[in-house]
Each structure stands twice: as structure tokens, then as C-alpha cells.
Structure 1
Amino acid sequence: MAYQHLGEVNIPKFTVIVGQKNHHTKLFQAGSPDNVPPGTVVDTKIVHPRNYDFYMCAQAGMIGTSRPAHYHVLIDEIGFSPDDLQNLIHSLSYVYQRSTTAISIVAPICYAHLAAYQMGQFTKFEDLAETSSGSVTSVGNTPVPELPRLHEDVRSSMFFC
């Protein structure tokens, strides 16, 4: 483990959860035309019999059948109870800075998508000309442009455009 390799004594505990948005499961209320209420969690019957997973519909559905996010808990060294973990996941759907209501998947996943998109903009290899005025290094046969330096004001904080 990296912490042991660095000689650290206090090794932190991790909880690793994968959120899946694209799937074919939809939730509805039997005998009612209304969508399921926001915060609905399904962790029995339709989930894996041995693995720790659950469906959560954190946001209010528009018209039609609600489509939840599917969360798979891969590692839980912290030891969350199912209710505490589901409450944490539900709370994380309300902290996205671009929305005043709950979103369908937790905010850290949305921020990761934004960061990946921004990195994709910096590393467009097709547009890289050999006469580029920027500094270019090479990994194998692939040229890699040097990333721009961050301003001091944002260097130690999270920021997303």
C-alpha cells in the first residue's frame, strides 16, 4: 500500500463506492401514477443477493417512471451501517454547486466528469502541431503537451469552470 511504502503509521480507512447512472432499471409506485418520492432507496429484492448494492432515486422525477442511480459498495473499511451510508449518498446529491435541488448522481461524480472534460481539452493530441510554441514532451511515440500552471489563488482549492 502507498501509505506503508511512504512510512506512514496512521493509515486511513477507505470506503469505495461506484455510482452507475446508465442502466435499465426504473422505479414506480404500484397502483399510483406518481413517481417515487425523492430519497427513495431500494436495497432488497432487485439487488444482488451477496454484493452490497442499492438503488437510490435522490431527485424528484419529472413525468414518467423514475430512473434511480445504482450504487455498488466495493470496499467499506470505515464500517458504515446501510442507513448511514445511504443517508451520506443522499446528502451528497444536494451539494452540487450548479443546482439548487438534488441531482440524480452524487456531486463528486459530477465534479470528476467536469475535471475529466477539462483535462480532455488540454490533451487533444489531434490538434497538436509540431510547430507549437508551447513546451511538448514525448512519452513513447506520443507527444504530450505540458499542462498550464495554476494560479496561486486556486492552486490549493477545488475549482471547476
Structure 2
Amino acid sequence: MMQAYQNMGQGPPPKITVIIAQKNHHTKLFQADAPDNVPAGTVVDKGIVHPKQYDFYMCAHAGPIGTSRPTHYHVLLDQIGFSPDELQSLVLSLSYVYQRSTTAISVVAPICYAHLAAAQMSQFIKFEEFADTSSGSGVPSSSTAATVPELPRLHADVCSSMFFC
């Protein structure tokens, strides 16, 4: 990403933070002395996390009855220099800004928006058609290469704004 930004010639690259969010795992959180779920916003960053890497579990939403399944966040790169409390607060805040929910959701809203965008794109492009190669070399020949269909154009009023159907 940094190489692409530098190739654009827009000046020095911005500082970025890269975080992986994992929802499918086998970790569940519960309170030791109570039958209730952990409260919304619970963060676990000691004990069950990696001893040397920067990761944490967050249960941003109020779970149903039973044990809560948190999201596992793994910080790969932090050029901005967030403190752990600042980063965890940011992640919690991003769990509350999803437009389809009035409460916190289990993963941050940008991930949900990325899933929506990918689902909408899959309506226009069938990627399976582009995966087949006839020569076996991994590069489709010019006679069998499928052309990518032109995507619909956005209306000028929404061209510079973020929207999802």
C-alpha cells in the first residue's frame, strides 16, 4: 500500500495502522462468579493473548444468554503510535457506528461495510469465470480470457460519499 501511495507522487506517505479482526475462533468469555455474559465493551489483553505480539479480545456487543464470543484483534502495524487504551477505545467506538444497528455490533463497522461492498460487487462480476485458465500456466490465453464487464456508473450526487444499500 505504501509503495502504491509513493507511486502516486502525493508526497510523504501517511502513517497507518493495520489490524486483523478474527471473528471465527474458539475463545469464549464468561464471568467467573456470575451466570451473566461479560458486559458490552469488555476487553481482554492479558492472560490468554500472545505473550509478545500486540493482540486483544473485545466483546463490544451485549451477547445473548450464554457465553460471549469476542472478536480477536491482532495489530500488525501501528505507525500512528496508539496506546493500547486509545486503540481499544477506537475499536469500541467503531463498533457503534454501523448504520443498520442502534447498538454495538460484534465487529467494527468498516468490516461490515467491506462485506456489503463485496457482496454488491459479486452481483456484477462472477469471479469464477476469471479463475479458469486453459493453458495451465496460470495466465489465461488471449482467446479464452473473459472480459471484465463495465460496472454501473454512480450518480454525481453520491460519487464522493460513502453509501451502502
Residues 46-85 of structure 1: matches in 2 within 5 Å? Answer: 46-85=48-87
Corresponding residue pairs, total: 151
User: 1:40 is matched by which residue type in structure 2?
Assistant: T
- Per the TM alignment, residue 67 of structure 1 is displaced from its structure 2 partner at its CA by 0.5
> 1:154–1:139: structure 2 CA closer, same or farther, 3 Å change rule?
farther
Q: Check if 1:96 corresponds to 2:83.
A: no
Tell me the amino acid that sits aligned with residue 146 of structure 1.
E
RMSD: 1.9
Aligned runs of 1:112-151 on 2, under 5 Å?
112-124=114-126, 141-151=145-155
- Structure 2 gaps of 5+ residues are 130-141
Runs of at least 5 residues in structure 1 that lack an aligned partner in the other structure: 128-137
Query: In the alignment, which residue of structure 2 is the partner of 1:3?
Result: 5
Number of the residue aligned with 1:109: 111
Q: Comparing both structures, which one devotes a greater share of its residues to strand?
A: 1
* TM-score (normalised: structure 1): 0.88
1:135 corresponds to which residue?
Answer: none
Q: 2:156 aligns with which of 130, 143, 152?
A: 152
Q: Which residue of 2 aligns with 1:12?
A: 14
Partner Cα separation in structure 1 for residue 144 and residue 70 of structure 2: 43
- SS of residue matched to 1:70: strand
Q: Taking structure 1 as reference, are residues 152 and 8 closer, same or farther at Cα in structure 2, changes over 3 Å only?
A: closer
Structure 1 contact 18–73 (Cα < 8 Å) conserved: yes
Is the Cα–Cα contact under 8 Å of residues 125 and 143 in structure 1 kept in the other structure? no
Mapped partners of 2:107, 2:80: distance in 1: 22
Counterpart residue identity of residue 96, structure 2: Y
Compute the displacement of 1:126 (Å).
Answer: 7.5
Q: Report deviation, 1:13.
A: 0.2
By how many angstroms is 1:125 displaced?
6.2
The separation in 2 between residues aligned to 1:74 and 1:142, in whole angstroms, is 36
| Alpha-carbon contact 1:125-1:144 (below 8 Å) kept | no
Percent identity between the aligned chains?
Answer: 75
Which TM-score applies when normalising by structure 2? 0.86
The residue type equivalent to 1:144 in the other structure is V
SS at match of 1:118: helix
- 1:140: how far off? 6.1
